[in-house]
Structure 1
């Protein structure tokens, strides 16, 4: 499964920076932002914001099998980087 990776930075009202990648099967920045906001709400950060340049296409990966189940179930996967819950 080919996945497109969107490097994402979100900012909580308290000033916390949440850095993660959104992985989706289509190269669609708007869809990636919507999935990012959905995920932020699911981790208790529904008020976090993503600036217009905060969710940008990074690269396409030919195979990331560790994320395939999440993508098949929800349409996207998250690769946690800095400031994300464990």
Structure 2
């Protein structure tokens, strides 16, 4: 499965900048759907983050998905790779 990687930076309420990638099937191109996945992920966090908009979340590249990513996408529609300040 080919997936699109959306590079995302969000400022948290404590001033730290979260960096995570939203991975979706490559045929999913509607930004509102992708932003919705990011918002769903942010709701799982114990802190508040700024709103997710186009300037914080941008298409980066397409890559081949691993089995773990494929399973995640099959279960919830997307996969998140946490990079910085996501805890």
Length-normalised TM-score, structure 1 = 0.85
Q: Residues of 2 paired with 1:16 and 1:58: CA distance?
A: 22
2:62 paired residue number: 60
Residues 29 and 55, structure 1, Cα contact 8 Å, conserved in 2? no
1:80 paired residue number: 82
Q: Which runs of 4+ in 1 moved over 6 A?
A: none
Q: Residues of 1 paired with 2:24 and 2:79: CA distance?
A: 7
Structure 2 gaps of 5+ residues are none
Q: How many residues align?
A: 84
* Greater strand content: 2
- The alignment's C-alpha RMSD in Å is 1.5
Length-normalised TM-score, structure 2 = 0.84
Residues 24 and 34, structure 2, Cα contact 8 Å, conserved in 1? yes
Counterpart of 2:69 in 1: which secondary structure?
helix
Q: Residues of 1 paired with 2:40 and 2:77: CA distance?
A: 11
For residue 51 of structure 1, report the CA deviation from its aligned partner.
4.2
